[in-house]
Amino acid sequence: MTVNVRGKVLPLLAASALALGVAACGGGDSADDAGNTGTSDLSGELTASGASFPDAYYQVAIEAYAEVAPEVVINYNSTGSGTGKKEFGEGLTDFAGTDSLVGDDDPVEPGSFLYVPTVAAPITVSYNLPGVEGLQLGQETLAQIFQGDIETWNDPAIAEANPDAELPDTPITIAHRSDGSGTTTNFTKFLDEATESWELGSGDVVEWPSDSQGGEKNTGVASIIQQTEGAIGYVDLADATGSELVFAAVENADGEFVMPSIAGTTAGLEGAEVAEDLSYNPLNAAGADAYPITAPTYILVRTSYEDPQTAELVKAFLTWLLTDGQALAEDEFFAPLPDSLAEQALAQLDKIQS
Amino acid sequence: MEFPLTQLDRAPASDVTTPGRGRTLDRVFGGASYGAGLLVLGVLALILLSTTWEALPAFQHSGFDFIFGQRWAPNNPDLPLFGTLTFLYGTAVSSLLALLIAVPVSIGIALFLTELAPRWLRVPAVTVIDLLAAVPSVVFGLVGILVIAPAALPLYQWIHDLVVNVPVLGSVFGPAVNGNTFATAGVILAVMVIPIITSISREVFDTVPVADKQAAYALGATRWEMIKGAVFPHSFAGLVGAAMLGLGRAMGETIAVTLVIGGSTQIAANLFASGNSMAAVIAQQWGEASGLHTSALIGIGVVLFAMTVLVNYSARVIVRRAEIRMKGATA
């Protein structure tokens, strides 16, 4: 995908170089364009890299944005959040996508960036157990399964929540991400925060039980689950649906068993507490309909850009992403932000100095 | 130095030599190739130095546990653990298994091509095998995970049921839950190194003097006896070299192994269990790593590099010994 976009960049570079002078003058007075900030007048190039989790949505959004602002070329390279933050910190990119917050280890200077939440997506607990559908898993049970305390499917803890299911004595094979992943971070953070049993901590690489299996990216985990009778794993909704996996209903904070869905995710976002810097934690959020395992994702932008042109482009793109762009999310199995959060995110963009 | 030249002494008219400038060109050429040779060494040294430097924090953090530790827990809040023994084991098992399969097959192919195949078949067969070497490794990986792994599962289970009560075999060929195993990785790697080992073995067999072979036949040897008595002793050193090149390739192979080895952090005697290899771990975890974790991943690279050098060096020692023995025999 990146290669495709790059192909377009070179010829456009020449054009945008010419247009630069014009746009720099015309950038400010384009706000009279209906609703949006006159994006069609903008031209230039933005490079970005980071989280692969929202990549599918970002690519679709960037493609759609090209129709709104044909002179703007945006490259989003899905390198993973860690690399994204690193490249952003080194000034190689104009904005970065990340699933995790900026930590002490990350080479990004505190205070030099802002979080802009974009979309969120549910992480499913998918399994392969022929003949068993609509499995319900309690939070503690989930933790015990994923750290290897529960070893077979007919364990009393599972049976208790599923009185109607005929559970076989198949051994449980845990499928997890072998690559460092924000999906792992969010899934383990949920288990860590919500349950007492969980002892493996959280992070983008976790020390899973030794006989568990790792798959590359969501698709790798999905294929392990597909190919292994008795497997259980965590996969984002888009890939779980694409691979036709069966997923379990997970117990939420209110004690209800909820199937992963876009509606359930947005319900979870509404119940989440948003911090002042707009980082928020939708995991195990309150609300009867809220699906408890929801991964947020952010775009990091600089508080000030050296080039006012770049600041203008970033603002325009993100403004579009948080308004018209939100409608594209659902088709890619991502949940749009609830209105309140989207408004806060838009307000965040005003803090960018140019 | 005035000597009357005879017709024979006169250099034939050609543009091979440039009178007068020969020396200078010689020196320039000598310098250039010297430089090229040193450049390789320099690059290698630079790689080793810079990676070791980057990996130093992780080495200092883990000490000997970096190589002998079995726990890999970069997220451990108080004390991240970086023990790579399980990955070392995965790399060793999968590449040795690959060698075990690939060497006999490759030598068979090479013998067939040099000794048995009809002339018209040689060129197309060689082309096909060389083509195998040109297939990108990710394609092998995809074939492995989409075709071989699912197809091999019933086979693994059948083998396991067959030997389940035999003491050692029962645990080496243990239970399998899916096709992502050490064994699958070994098979895929074998297919990948066969072209390398075959083409070198073929060239080695080609160097066996025809006189040796004819002599063996003259003594009444059958074709197999001739191969055993004349071809193998002459080519032993070359075959070891070929196998070691294959091993080096197998140890460093990343993406194909990543896809089929299963991604577990464990040391298991069971070939039908999942594991992970050094190169695979680096590739998997690089994108999201930061700080000490990054440095530990580079550290794995340093260890892998050292292992490859060690393997190559020991291969060279074996080859040299064999050569000395061979020269003794021919003298």
Is the pLDDT at A129 greater than 90? The verdict is yes
**Residues with Cβ < 8 Å from B213, sequence gap 6 or more?**
B226, B230, B231
Q: Residue B6: pLDDT above 70?
A: no
Give CA–CA dist A337/B67, Å, rounded.
46
Name the residue among B73, B145, B286 with its Cβ closest to that of A223.
Answer: B145
In angstroms, the Cα distances linking B96 to A187, B101, B183, B249 are: 37, 9, 11, 11
State the smallest CA–CA distance between residue B246 and chain A in angstroms. Answer: 26
Residue A180 to residue B264, Cβ atoms within 8 A: no
Chain A CB contacts of B76 below 8 Å = 201, 207
Chain B contact for A201 (CB, 8 A cutoff): yes
Give the best residue of A52, A102, A174, A179 to mutate against chain B (max B CB count within 10 A): A179
CATH number assigned to the domain with residue range B65-330, chosen from the 4 options 1.20.1740.10, 1.10.3720.10, 2.40.30.10, 3.40.640.10? 1.10.3720.10
Rounded Cα distance, B239 and B247, in Å: 12
Q: What is the mean pLDDT of chain A?
A: 85
Nearest CA-CA partner of B254 in B299, B284, B286:
B284
Average of pLDDT values for A28-45?
Answer: 55
The string of pLDDT tens digits covering residues A242-253 is: 999 999 999 999
A64, with CB counted inside 10 A (0-12, 13-18, 19+), is middle
Residue B326's pLDDT is: 65
pLDDT band at B5 (very low <50, low <70, confident <90, very high): low
What residues of B are in contact with residue A211 (Cβ under 8 Å)? 264, 266, 268, 273-274
Nearest chain B CA: its distance from A28 CA (Å)? 38
Residues A65 and A163 in one domain: no
The reply to whether residue B73 touches residue A207, judged by beta carbons under 8 angstroms, is yes
* Residue A56: CB atoms within 10 Å: 21
What's the whole-number mean pLDDT along residues A154-176? 92
pLDDT per residue over B201-253, tens digit each? Answer: 999 998 899 999 999 999 999 999 999 989 998 888 889 889 998 998 899 89
Q: Is A82 close to B71, i.e. CB distance below 8 A?
A: no
Which of B75, B262, B285 is facing A213, going by the closest CB pair? B262
Residue of B nearest to A79 (CA): B287
pLDDT digits (tens, 9 = 90+) for B23-34: 888 889 999 999
Q: A132 and A209: one domain?
A: yes
Q: How distant is the Cα of A80 from the closest Cα of chain B, in angstroms?
A: 5
Average pLDDT, chain B: 88
In one-letter notation, the amino acid at residue A18 is L
Mean pLDDT, residues B144-165: 92
Encoded amino acid at A34, one letter: A
Are A95 and A126 part of one and the same domain? no
Task: Supply A319's token pair.
Answer: 């403004």
Residue-wise pLDDT for A281-320, tens only, equals: 889 888 889 999 988 999 999 999 988 899 999 999 999 9
Contact B263 A178 (CB under 8 A): yes
SS3 of residue A320 by DSSP: helix
For residues A206 and A69, membership in a common domain is answered with: no
Please indicate whether, in this complex, the C-beta atoms of B285 and A180 are within 8 angstroms of each other.
yes
How many whole angstroms separate alpha carbon A327 and alpha carbon B110? Answer: 62
Q: Are residues A77 and A135 in the same domain?
A: no
Which residue from B minimizes the CA distance to A53? B288
Range of the domain at A21: 2-99+299-349
Decide which of A22 and B271 is more confident.
B271
- Residue among B177, B263, B290 minimizing CB distance to A214: B263
- Cross-chain Cβ contact A211/B284 below 8 Å: no
- pLDDT at position A16, please? 44
Phi-psi region of A244 (alpha: psi -120 to 50; beta: other; left: phi over 0): left
DSSP structure class, residue A324: G
CA distance A149 to A135: 19
CA angle in degrees (0–180, nearest 5) for B54-B60-B61: 105
Report pLDDT for B100.
Answer: 96
| Whether residue A66 is found in the same domain as residue A168 | no
Average confidence (pLDDT) over B99-115? 94
Q: Has residue A256 been placed in a domain? A: yes
Cβ-contact B267, B70 below 8 angstroms: yes
Same-domain pairing of A141 and A258:
yes
Which chain A residues are Cβ-neighbours of B286 within 8 angstroms?
80, 83, 180
Alpha-carbon gap, residue A332 to A342, rounded angstroms: 18
**B274-290 confidence digits (pLDDT tens):** 999 999 999 988 877 87
For residue B33, what is the enclosing H or E element? helix B22-62
Give the 3-state secondary structure of residue B19. coil
Please, which residues have CB within 8 angstroms of residue A93's CB and are 6 or more apart in sequence? Answer: A47, A48, A49, A50, A84, A87
Are A244 and A132 contained in the same domain? yes
| Closest among B139, B146, B151 to B176, alpha carbons compared | B151
Tell me the pLDDT band of A43, cut-offs 50, 70 and 90: confident
Domain boundaries, chain B: 65-330
A80–B contact, CB cutoff 8 A: yes
Pairing of strands A173-177, A213-215: parallel
Predicted confidence (pLDDT) at residue B130 exceeds the cutoff of 90: no
Same domain, A138 and A190: yes
Q: Identify any residues that bridge with A47 across adjacent strands, giving them in sequence order.
A: A75
Let me know if residue A287 belongs to a domain. Answer: no
Winning range, highest mean pLDDT, from A25-34, A180-189, A220-229: A220-229
Q: Which of A80, A210, A220 sits opposite B287 (nearest CB)?
A: A80
| Residues of chain A neighbouring B85 (CB-CB closer than 8 A) | none
**If you write DSSP's letter for every residue of B123-187 in order, what string do you get?**
HHHHHHHHHHHHS-HHHHHHHIIIIIHHHHHHHHHHHHHHHTTSHHHHHHT---SSS-SHHHHHH
- How many domains does one find in chain A? 2
Length of chain B: 331
Alpha helices for chain A (secondary structure H) = 2-26, 55-68, 81-89, 139-146, 156-161, 182-194, 217-227, 237-242, 262-270, 308-322, 339-349
Helices and strands (H and E) in chain A: how many: 11, 15
Give the residue-averaged pLDDT of A156-169: 92
> Which of A52, A128, A178 best tests the B interface by mutation, with the highest count of B CBs <10 A?
A178
Q: Are residues A261 and A129 in the same domain?
A: yes
CA angle B189, B169, B84 (to 5 degrees): 50
Instruction: Calculate mean pLDDT across residues A29-34.
Output: 39
DSSP code per residue over B235-290:
HHHHHHHHHHHHHHHHHH--HHHHHHSB------S-TTS-B--HHHHHHHHTTT--
Q: Is pLDDT above 60 for A272?
A: yes
> Does A219 reach chain B within 8 Å, measured CB to CB?
no
Quick one: A38 and A133 in the same domain? no
CATH number of A57's domain: 3.40.190.10
Rounded Cα distance, A182 and A204, in Å:
6
- Average the pLDDT over each of A19-33, A116-130, A333-347, B6-20 and give the range with the smallest value: A19-33
In a domain, A133, yes or no: yes
CB distance A93 to A49 below 8 Å = yes
pLDDT of residue A105: 74
Same domain, A152 and A229: yes
Q: How far apart are CA B103 and CA B229, in angstroms?
A: 19
Q: What is the pLDDT of residue B3?
A: 61
Q: What is the pLDDT of residue B11?
A: 59
- Which uninterrupted H or E stretch holds B68? helix B65-68
Considering chain A, what percentage of its residues have pLDDT values greater than 70?
88
CB pairs under 8 A between A and B: 118
What does the pLDDT average to over A266-277? Answer: 88
